[in-house]
Amino acid sequence: MYSRRISEIWQIYSREMIFGAVLFMLTIVCCYASQYINATLFDSIITPLQNIFNIGLCCMGAVLIFAHSDGMRFRKSWAWSLTIWGILDLTCMVLDVGFGIPLLALGSQPMSSMALLICNLLGWLLTLYPTEILRPGWISFRRVCYQLLPMIAVVIIDEMTESIDLSILIALYPVLLVFMVSSHIRAYRIWCEQNYSTMQDIDVQSIVRILLILVAICGVFFYMCISNSPTRVFTQQFLLSILIVYGTEQILFRRDPWAHMTIHEIESEIEAIEQSEESVDTAPQKAVPLSPERQKKIAVLEKWMKTDKPYLNPAMKVTDIQCVLSINRTYVSQLLRDAYGKTFYQYINSYRVEEAKQQMNAQPKLSMQAVADSCGFSSRRLFYQVFTRETGLTPSQWRDSQGGEVNGYHCEFKTKNAP
């Protein structure tokens, strides 16, 4: 069970794990190299310049996202996060430089309780976007209070008691927030696979990378709370620059997978997935007997797939099957899971892989890009990923193993209940 889950995680998130390793090494190198710069230089020049640069990035990113929000809530959440971050950062900088009121520690200055509180609030702002894309409508005034009030209470206690130092506990709070967001990732991915035949521009990978950057920032923030080294602020500002630029670029080109659903429908489906996670596992399920009525539905579905080949459309959605079988979306997902042990995404891509095999056998010199385009894959990268997962070989390796022999086209799937 655990080995299968680990294998599944590696197949899906291998690139993100490499990204996280590179990010970790970059953070360590940044901390180590910056130790050789004079603290006075940090306080007077480097840190203020980094603040100004990030404030500028926040303003540019917010304007760009607002101009292309297209009514999408997750884009607006990122734009508002950048806007509030930029305003608060600018206010703290003006108060510190212009009026000598250091709300936030700059350079090698020690962190006060107020600075810890502001840093936690700013960090919370950065979790709004991933929360909104993973669980639209989840953020409410009540839940915000649940998230922020404990941290505010700890900061107040730390400020009032001189004998107890709670700064480390405060520093760990952003990690808890990131963990709460990441707990929704698997349910989101399963839901996408139940509703879409391609993960193009709605995949979870970019969200995982943003969360990895947030984890790195949280680690540096923890270092800020236990050390007065100027490297702490330098490294964090550097990571923030990466996060703002990468997050803005990814969000601009991201589709809204929830566009056709109401908030109530989203909450109902996600809660159902989380409450019965094993029943929606992407791994094959145990055989479930199909009633005569459901077997008829499967027969109609298979005939439609073989005759009309709707899977050749990269934008095919579960609602297309819903219309053909005259059943609701949830029933379609359950039917595919019981009959084939597959999500909608896996089921459709199985047909696409078989179509690709036919084309590579019939036309051995056809380019892989042409095969991917003609078989309904939204990108060459996705074609390689799906084909390798289905066959254990890359498309090139599979074609070489066939030796150019033209075989008949067989795109048939036996249900688990078949003899």
Tens-place pLDDT, residues 113-136 = 777 778 888 888 999 999 999 988
Burial zone of 107 (CB within 10 Å; 0-12 exposed, 13-18 middle, 19+ buried) = buried
Query: In this structure, is the dihedral angle defined by the CA atoms of residues 396, 399, 403 and 404, taken in order, positive or negative?
Result: negative
Pairwise CA distance, residues 193 & 301, whole Å = 18
Q: Cα(173)–Cα(197) distance, rounded to whole angstroms?
A: 38
Give the tokens for residue 163.
């004998």
What Å distances lie between residue 167 and 13, 120, 160, 230, 288, CA to CA? 34, 11, 13, 18, 54
Q: Round to whole Å and give the CA distance between 97 and 273.
A: 51
Q: DSSP string covering 159-214, please? A: HH-SS---HHHHHHHHHHHHHHHHTTHHHHHHHHHHHBS--TTT-SHHHHHHHHHH
User: What is the Cα–Cα distance from 131 to 77, expressed in whole angstroms?
Assistant: 9
Check pLDDT > 60 for residue 416: no
238: which 2 tokens? 């550097």
d(CA 174, CA 236): 14
3-state SS assignment for residue 196? strand
Residue 327: φ, ψ to 5°: -135, 165
Q: What is the pLDDT of residue 61?
A: 95
Between CA 179 and CA 176 the distance in angstroms is 5
Alpha-carbon distance of 16 to 207, in angstroms, equals 10
The pLDDT score that the predictor gives to residue 385 is 84
- Poorest-confidence range of 240-254, 282-296, 391-405? 282-296
Tell me what the mean pLDDT of segment 202-231 comes to.
83
Q: What is the DSSP letter of 37?
A: S
Query: What ranges in 276-343 are assigned the alpha helix state H?
Result: 292-308, 318-325, 329-340
Structure tokens at 223: 């270092």
DSSP 341: S
Check whether 4 has a pLDDT greater than 70. no
Top pLDDT among 264 and 6 is at: 264
Taking the CA atoms of residue 118, residue 82, residue 139 and residue 173 in that order, the dihedral angle to the nearest 10 degrees is: -30
- Does residue 287 carry a pLDDT above 60? no
Residue 207 and residue 251 in contact, taking contact as beta carbons nearer than 8 Å? no
* Strand, helix or coil for residue 317: strand
Q: How many CB atoms lie within 10 A of CB 282?
A: 18
- Give residue-wise pLDDT tens across range 51-106: 899 999 999 999 999 999 888 889 999 999 999 999 988 888 888 777 777 666 55
In this prediction, residue 76 carries a pLDDT of 92
Per-residue model confidence (pLDDT) at position 378: 86
If you average pLDDT over residues 384-409, what whole number do you get?
A: 75
- First-to-last alpha carbon distance for the chain, in angstroms, is 27
CA 7, 11, 12, 14 dihedral sign is positive
* Predicted confidence band of residue 418 (pLDDT cuts 50, 70, 90): very low
Pick from 112-121, 303-312, 410-419: least confident: 410-419
Q: CA-CA distance, 360 to 396, in Å (whole number)?
A: 9
| Least confident window among 187-191, 266-270, 287-291, 358-362 | 287-291
CA dist 350 and 154 (Å) reads: 53
Average pLDDT, the chain: 82
The whole-number average pLDDT for the span 280-287 is: 48
pLDDT number for residue 419: 38
- How many Å apart are CA 297 and CA 339, to the nearest integer? 11
Q: What pLDDT does residue 103 have?
A: 67
Tokens 């206690």, residue?
157
pLDDT bucket at 417, cuts 50 / 70 / 90: very low
Confidence of residue 261 (pLDDT cuts 50, 70, 90): confident
111 neighbors 225 (Cβ within 8 angstroms): yes
- Residue 244, classed as helix, strand or coil, is helix
Confidence band for 350, pLDDT divided at 50, 70 and 90: very high
Judge whether 195 and 329 are in contact, CB under 8 Å.
yes
pLDDT top residue among 375 and 32: 375
pLDDT of residue 144: 87
